[in-house]
Structures are given as structure tokens and as C-alpha cells.
Chains A and B, each alone.
Chain A
Amino acid sequence: MIHPTLIFFAGAALLPFLKGRARKVLIILVPLAALAGTLFVRANVEWFFPFPGFSIIPFQADRLSLFVERIFVLIGLLIVLYSLHVEQKAYPIVSFLYIGSSLGVVFAGDFITFFMFWEMLSITPAVLIWLKRDEGSFGAGLRYLLMHLVGGGIMLAGILLHFSATGSMAIAGLAGLPFALILTAIGFKAAFIPLHTWLPDAYPKASFTASVLLSVFTTKAAVYALARSFPGVEVVAYMGGVMGLYGVTLALRQSNARKLLSYHIISQVGYMVAGIGIGTPMGIDGGLSHVWNHILYKALLFMCIGAAIYRTDKHDLTELGGLLKKMPITTAACIIGALSISGVPLFNGFVSKAMIYEAAGNHAVLYWMLKLTAAGTFLSFCKFTYFGFLRNKEVEVREAPLTMTIPMVIVASLCILGGVYPDLLTNILPYQSSLRVFTPAKLLDAMLVLGVAGAAFIAGMRLLAPHGRETRDFDYLYRRVARGFLGLWRNPSAVDVRSLESALLLVAVMLSLFLLYVAMSFLA
């Protein structure tokens, strides 16, 4: 029995020494080994290292962490397959470190370990973004890293206060100021509004393989952390509703394909956050199965748009299109992903959304926020698939290579499998909640929402057509505030440190002369 993080880190350590075929074999073998590891029964296992003052628990497995581990490792394998064509040496190394650190967060049994992997989970994605090596990705990665480091600092402050209040590093019993600080810090990674700006900023600017990877781990590790420490916090539930609506509203206004998908991450994470915030077994299980389903369909959507970008080199919905005939597998996979995220019955998104609606029954406002989000999501994905893939347009491209289509087909079939047999997940959910989703009322309800949205799309197609304008988000504000400071960072010679220093020194010398004078007068 072995910690999956160790498998990924060992793989990352070995990779620089391999070349050619052996390197590719290892790249596949590492996530495969981790996947094999999930087959062992490991509930309630703990690794325990006592230290003076506290103890370090790098591996603590229970139903919650094992559930998240399974989907992380599964999708990790498929994405690694998908990005096998990337020749850049550092890319698989950094992605293994990234996946490994997210698994480290999942299994951390104490705050020290948790914080360590949490920080790695801030650094490795930034490196992944930077690996594209252009100025756009550089700036985005930097903003990403800085925001997450601020979040990490808040987290550390919370942990320290928690430790000084309770004398324990255990991830439990948060209250008062540490509670608020750690919740805020998790909010940075979970893309709480308005701490979300790094997400739509950075994900579209990374390479398309990196954005598939990024779409899975960071936010979901944060959702895991919420499920671990903050289930049933009402503020969190409503934050979920806000995230859902805000994300979908901004998504509707995007024309960069991956930026649109990025805003949908925020809105879909909103569902999970809402479910966990409600805190009933049904809510938590709903939120977690939405983690599972969302990872599948959102990775699928990013894979599809990635394949389109790979073949056409176009990023914008204004330029894409005409892919139905040329890239049929990719287009079909994309439609499956779009139907899943929209919550169409028989696709997996429907199941977990139904569970969250069920749990939100007593919170009328939240319920309607989420419903509205669902309608907006369908509307947005009508636009995405129509303009991105289906509409008539003359293009000269080939279908994506097999290393890309095979993972896409696998993930697409998993989406359908989860939608047709919703009970498959029930057994591994922490509370084993199950819900009869194929009742006439629920089906009718879903169809009604989708029908309204579909009609709205047909009616307002011209309004929704991609336009290529930049939309403003909170980061516009942040960048204005930070401009002075980051200006110094970008143009270091702007400040004359020397004269500032001389002035300070002069003050210090005057002060000590004064002291000397005082001392002398008393001595005399």
C-alpha cells in the first residue's frame, strides 16, 4: 500500500533521466500504477509521525478522501494519455508534480502536510502555465501565483492561530478567526466570487493540454477541502449560488472558447460548493458526485476544444466552426460533454444536479439560483457547440490523432455511463446516498428548464453570437490597484533607491548624534 503522491513524485523524479520510448512508457505507467493502487482497500488507514509539539499525518484515508482520489487518478491517467504528444521535457514532470500535490492535499491528515501540498498546488500550476513560454501566459501565470500565494499566506495565518488556540494541528475544530481565515484561503482556490479572477485569466492562456489538466485539480482540491472542514456552513451554500449565477452570466458574454469554459468551471463549482454548504448527507454526496461528474465532462470539453485548437490553431468562437464533418469524433464528444454539463437526462450532470436540487429543497432562494444557472448553462453550451463546432463553415482540417480521440471517447462513454446507471457511484460516496432520478417529475422539470433555454437560444441567437470584445471582471479592478506596485516590479529602475537610502541614513545619523549629545550632557 502506497501513497499515490509518492508514485507521481517518483515518476517526476525519474522522468528527466529517460528518453524516447522509455519516457513515454513511464509517463503512462505512473498514473496507471496510481490507478492500480486505488483498487486496494484502504479505508481508515493512517501514517503517523509524532514531532515535538504536534504530529504529521501525511496519509489519512477515509471514504471522502478515497472518493476524490479515485476520480483524480482516473482522469489523471486519461489526461496524461491525451497530452502524450507534448514533446516539451518539463511538461509531464510538472503535471505529475501537480497531480501528486493535489492528491497530497486529499490525503493530508494534519495542517502542516495540508499546507505544504496546498502551497505546491499553488506553485506547480503556475509553472504549468508558464511552460507555454510566451508573454501572455507569463503574466497570467504570475497573477495566478501571486493570488494563490496571498491565499496561502492567509491559510498559514489561520493555521497558526488555530494551533495557538487549540494546541493541535489536526484538521478539525475550527472556530472563530482561524475558521474565517482558512475558509477565505480555501475560497481563493475554489474560485469564490470575487477571488476567482485568476481562473478565467490563466486557464485560456495556458497551453491547451495544460488547461485540460488545470480544469480538473485546483478547484476540486479546494472543494474537497471544503467538504472536509466546512460542510453545512450556510454562507458557503449561498456563495455556491452566487458562483453559479455569476459564472454563467459572464460565460454567456465570452467568445474565447476556453475562457467561456473557464467561467463555467466557476459556475459548476458553485453547484458543488452549494451542495457542501447545505451540509445534509444528500447535499454533500450531491456536491461530491458533481465533483466526479464535472471532472469528467469539463475535462472532456477542454479536450475537445483542445483538439480543435490543435488542428485549427483558432481559439475564438468567432473563428471556429465547421468541424462536424471534418472532426466528427471530436464534435460528437463535445456534444456529449455539452449535454452532460447542461444536465440533460441520461447524461451524468443530470444525476448530480438532481441530488443537489433535492438537498436544496428547503432553501428556496438557493434552489432558484441553481435552477437559473442550469438554464443559463444550457443556453451557453448551445452557443458553444453551435458556433465552435456545428455551424457551416469551410475549413481544411483532419480529425485529431488517436492519442487524443481515444481518451475523449473513454471520457465521453464514462459521462453516459454515469448518466444511465446513476447507482454506480452510490457505493463509493461518503454517505452512500442514492436518489431515484428518473421520476417523471424530475425529468419533466429538467426538460422544462432545457426547453426554455433552448427556445431562448434560437430566439436570441444574434444577440448571443460571439463578438470578440473583452469583458470586464473583478481583475480589471485588481490590476488597476496593483498597477503602481507591479509597475515597479516590471520596471525596476524607476525608483531611485540610493537617494532614499541616503535620506534614511541621514535621519539615523542625526538621531544617534542627538543620543550622543544627551548621553554626554548627562555624563558631564
Chain B
Amino acid sequence: MMEHSPVLVVMAPFIGAYFIPLLGLWRKQYCYPLAAVAAGLSALFSIILAGSVLTQGTIRYAVGGWPAPYGIELVVDPLSAFMCLVISLVSLLVVAYSRDYIEKELPEGKTTSYCTLVLLLVGGLLGVVVTGDLFNLFVMTEIFSVAAYALVPMGGKRGSFLASYRYLILASIGTSLILLATGYLYMVTGTLNMADLAARLPLAYEHHPWVVLAALAFFLVGFGIKSALFPLHAWLPDAYSVAPAPVLVLSTLVTKVGAYSLIRVLLTVFGFELIAGTIPVASALTWVAAAAIFAGSLFAIAQTDIIKMLAYSSVAHIGYVMLGVGLAVPLGLTGGVLHILNHTLAKACLILCAGAVIYGAGIRRIDDFRGLGRTMPLTTAAFTLAAASMVGVPPTAGFMSKLYLALGALETGRWVFVAIILAGGLLTALVYLRVITLMYFRGHGETLRRDEPPLGMLVPIVLLALASAMLGTFVGMPLSLVEPAVRLLLGM
């Protein structure tokens, strides 16, 4: 059982997704528990997986017993195990949160399809991070994308189909580019296995530099769209503004998996020498990231809708992750990978809080948040903690990832990025200060009755907020996976 955990972590949600529609025909009320069990199992397997990666290093698993060049190989290195943990734990919390939220916010009778699609999406995300095969990565990307296209308009709001359609068009362009690039690489190397590709690419680059370059460009644009990297982020605020809150958390995971894929392709497949030395992709990426940090925060400041504001803030924070990748030095990459976790935790908490406000008070305009500090004290406190982590207030988790990023920038001697990171923090502070001050300090005197969300929604919020606050002090826990991952990625 234990040695099969690389495949089980992916199969648990997929098997759940197969059975839920059948179950839904018979007894609708069992769909949700089954989804929770599937997500829980997947979380359990990813913990086991992380444990075995920590003790015995990278795990290679041949699906169905077919050896690597012919069959599909699953490769779980520390980075994959780290991503598995992030995805499966956060999606477990999302599933827990969903029960009450979906009952109220979704139209009647959507429970079955919602549960199925969520599990498909989670399975796809996990599939991307454990696979060691480029084509398999594309397939999994397609699976979670399709699930996401269907989940986004589920709230049935006005304009949700148009937004979802726009998302579909853009994201399909992205996946097509990824497929094209995979094809190009196959043309010049004759393999799809990442480890084989990594070994053959330097030679292929000598013979067919333009093909490899085109593949690289397509990957950048394709995964750039998936990860909502500025200026390819236009689908994100659209999709965010209509999707139900739990789905938003899943789409933050989607952007993070996009970032993961980019890291994987750039550093594992193309390799550090190629992207930092021969082709100056890495340094170009840092400037794109800097633009993302500024533009995302400025756009976020210009929003009046809380969900859209959070969407643009995600655009800025994907910039931090990409900055870490672009710096391509150990400390910087550590900061970038760590920020995947820290931003996911904080942003998931913020989204779920906003969801709780929409659920309870039915408001999404930021100006209407006045006085929420009194009616929803726990939710607003969690929001504030998570926002502090987003800003990077010491000693929260967000501070640690930005600290590592800044140290990485210093390591490369590019001080301007230290200034960018700090200025970005200030802009993020402005984004969240408006909400926090409205909630606490600009309310009117009257005391309103308590209106906290139900426990099933509150527990995930509080857990995420505590994690955002504490993981800065206990940064050693994520670092135990991130450090070996970074060493492996940079080939040290």
C-alpha cells in the first residue's frame, strides 16, 4: 500500500469523482461525505508521501509496472511532495467549507456535479505535480482546466457564462501552446520523459536552437496563462468575479500549479544552464514578475468588489513566486517556492472570509464592509491575520518568504529587486488596509448581533489564518521539503 502512495494520492479523488455521479442517482445526500472521504484520503496519502520523500529521497513509480521510457513514470521529488501537501490539505479544507456554502449559494440539485467536478479538479492538480512525463502533465492540465471551466459558472449568476467562456478561450489557448511545445520537444528529442528530456535537450539545442526556443516560448506563455502571470492574467478577475468562493480557492491552486509547471519545465526539463546561461529567460522573468507585483497591486487598489480585489492581489503575488524562479539562486528560489505555500494559505483564508461575508451578510462591495468587525469578529480577525501575512508583517509566514526573496536578490547583487519587494509590500498593505480599517475603525456606533458563519465554514477559516500566522515562526517545517527541492532544482 505504502509504496503505491504516489499513484493513490491522485487516484483517490479520481475514483471518488467516478462514483459520485452514480451515488447521486441513488442518494444525493451521500455525495458530499464521499467527496470529503476522497479528499481526506488524498491528504492522508500525500502526508505519507511527504514522509517517505523526506526519509528516502525522490520516489520513482512506474504506473502499471511499465518501465520509464514506455510507460508513464511518476516522479515524486521534494518539490512534488510539497505541492501535493499544499494542494491536498487546502482542498480538504475547501471541501469541508463547501457543505454549508454550496447549500445556500448554488442552485438546487447541483451538489452531485459540484462534488464530482471538485474531485476531478483536485485529482488533475495532484496529477500534474506527481507526474514525470511531459505529455502526462499536459493531460492532467487539461483535466483540471476542463473541471475548472465547468465549476466557474456554477453559481448561475448573471454574466457567469460569459466570464467562464472567456476563461475557457484564454485557458485553451494556453493548453494548446503547452501541447504544441510538448510536440516540438518530442520532435527534436524523441522522448517525453522529463529526466530523458533534461539529458537530451542541451544537444538538441545545439542542432535545432529555434525549435527549442519556440517550445520554451510556448511553455512560458502557456503556463503564464495558467498561472495568471501578468500580462496574461485577464481571465483571473473575470472568472473570480462570478465563481463561488470555494471554487476561487481551487483556482488559486490552479495558478499555483501553473507556477509549479513552469518551475518544473524551466528548471528540471530545460535546466539551469540553459535558462540562466544560454537563453536569458530567467532575468526576463524577474522583470515580468516585477511588473506583475506593481500592476497587480495597483489594479487591486482600483477595485470596489472584494473578490476582484483579491483576484488582482493574486496576480501580484504570483509575481513574487515568479521573481523567486527568475532569480534562480538558492535563497531566492526558496523564497519563491515558500511563497507558493504562504500565499495559498493566506489567499485561501481571505477568499473563504470573503465567502463567509457573502454567505452571511450578502455583501461584496468593499464600502459595505463597514462595521463587520463587530458582527463577525472571528472572520474579520482571520481576515486581518491573513492580510498581515500577505503584506509580510513579521513574524507571519508571508514575511519569511519575502525575506528569503530579498536575501536571494541580494545574493545576485540586484538590489533593485529588494526595493521592488519592499515597495510591493507597501502596495499590498494599501490594498488590505482599506478593507481592514473599514471593518474595524470606520463603523458606526451601533452594536449589531453576532453573525458568524456556521462552524463548518469557520473552522477552515481559522485553521488557515493560524497557519498563515504561525508558519513564519515555524518556517522550518515547510523548509525541510523546500530546501532539498531547491537544491535538486538548481542541480546542486
Contacts and interface: CB of A to CB of B under 8 A. Distances in A.
A293 to B, nearest CB: 33
A515 B214 contact: yes
Interface stretch (A32-40, A226-234, A403-411, A485-493): A485-493
Contacts of A515: 214, 217, 221
Contacts of B394: 112, 115-116, 119
Given A156-B422, A505-B232, A130 B437 contact: yes
Interface stretch (A160-168, A190-198, A325-333): A160-168
B426 A149 contact: yes
A507 B443 contact: no
Given A492-B304, A519-B210, A519-B211, A508 B410 contact: no
Interface residues of A, number: 46
Interface of A: 112, 115-116, 119, 123, 127, 130-131, 133, 135, 138, 141-142, 145-146, 149-150, 153-154, 156-157, 160-161, 163-164, 488-489, 492-495, 497, 500-502, 504-505, 507-508, 512, 515-516, 518-519, 522-523
A518 B215 CA distance: 12
B274 interface: no
Contacts of B302: 488, 492-495, 497
Contact of B437 (A142, A493, A507): A142
A138 B232 contact: no
Contact of B441 (A123, A141, A153, A164): A141
Given A156-B422, A494-B302, A523-B210, A133 B406 contact: no
Given A157-B419, A523-B210, A138 B437 contact: yes
Interface stretch (B318-326, B428-436, B462-470): B428-436
A105 B30 CA distance: 56
14 contacts: A130-B441, A133-B442, A149-B426, A153-B425, A164-B411, A492-B303, A492-B366, A501-B231, A502-B234, A508-B221, A512-B177, A512-B221, A516-B214, A522-B210
Given A119-B393, A163-B407, A489 B231 contact: no
Contacts of B233: 501
B441 A131 contact: yes
Contacts of A123: 393
A44 to B, nearest CB: 26
A519 B214 contact: yes
A225 B418 CA distance: 24
B48 interface: no
B422 A492 contact: no
B407 A164 contact: yes
A148 to B, nearest CB: 11
Contacts of A160: 403, 406-407, 410, 418
B173 to A, nearest CB: 8
B231 A133 contact: no
Nearest to B303: A492
A153 B423 contact: yes
Interface of B: 177, 210-211, 213-214, 217-218, 221, 230-234, 237, 298-299, 301-304, 312, 366, 393-395, 403, 406-407, 410-411, 415, 418-419, 422-423, 425-426, 429-430, 433-434, 437, 440-443, 445
A50 to B, nearest CB: 12
B411 A519 contact: no
Given A504-B231, A516-B214, 8 more contacts: A115-B394, A130-B441, A149-B429, A150-B426, A160-B406, A160-B418, A497-B302, A501-B231
Given A150-B426, A157-B419, A133 B443 contact: yes
B211 A507 contact: no
Contact of B232 (A145, A488, A489, A508): A508
Nearest to B424: A153
A489 B304 contact: no
B210 A164 contact: no
A156 B394 CA distance: 11
A161 B406 CA distance: 10
A516 B445 CA distance: 61
Closest 5 CB pairs of A and B: A519-B214, A130-B441, A522-B210, A504-B231, A153-B422
A156 B406 contact: yes
Contacts of A164: 407, 410-411
Contacts of A130: 437, 440-441
B301 A161 contact: no
A149 B426 CA distance: 7
A38 B234 CA distance: 58
A142 B217 CA distance: 44
Contacts of B301: 488-489, 492
A15 to B, nearest CB: 14
Contacts of A518: 210, 214
Contacts of B403: 160
A119 B472 CA distance: 15
B117 to A, nearest CB: 27
A154 to B, nearest CB: 8
Most buried by A among B231, B232, B418, B443: B231
Given A142-B437, A145-B433, A523 B211 contact: yes
B251 to A, nearest CB: 17
B433 A153 contact: no
A229 B425 CA distance: 26
A501 B210 contact: no
A523 B430 CA distance: 49
B422 A501 contact: no
Contacts of B425: 149, 153
B393 A157 contact: no
B437 A157 contact: no
Nearest to A509: B173
Nearest to B430: A489
A112 B211 CA distance: 48
A343 to B, nearest CB: 39
B288 to A, nearest CB: 10
Contacts of B422: 153-154, 156-157
Nearest to A153: B422
A495 B308 CA distance: 14
A38 to B, nearest CB: 26
Nearest to B413: A164
Nearest to A523: B211
A500 B210 CA distance: 33
A116 B395 contact: yes
A180 to B, nearest CB: 13
Nearest to B407: A160
A161 B395 CA distance: 19
Contacts of B445: 133
Most buried by B among A131, A161, A164, A522: A164
A505 B229 CA distance: 11
Contact of A508 (B231, B395, B418, B423): B231
A521 to B, nearest CB: 9
B106 to A, nearest CB: 27
A492 B231 CA distance: 21
Contacts of B299: 497, 500-501
Contacts of A508: 221, 231-232
Contact of A519 (B217, B234, B298): B217
A66 to B, nearest CB: 25
B441 A138 contact: yes
A493 B308 CA distance: 12
A505 B234 contact: yes
A142 B433 contact: yes
B338 to A, nearest CB: 14
A494 B299 CA distance: 11
A508 B440 CA distance: 41
Nearest to B235: A505
Contacts of A500: 299
A501 B443 contact: no
Contacts of A138: 437, 441-442
A127 B433 CA distance: 11
Contacts of B231: 501, 504-505, 507-508
Contacts of A157: 406, 418-419, 422
B223 to A, nearest CB: 13
B234 A133 contact: no
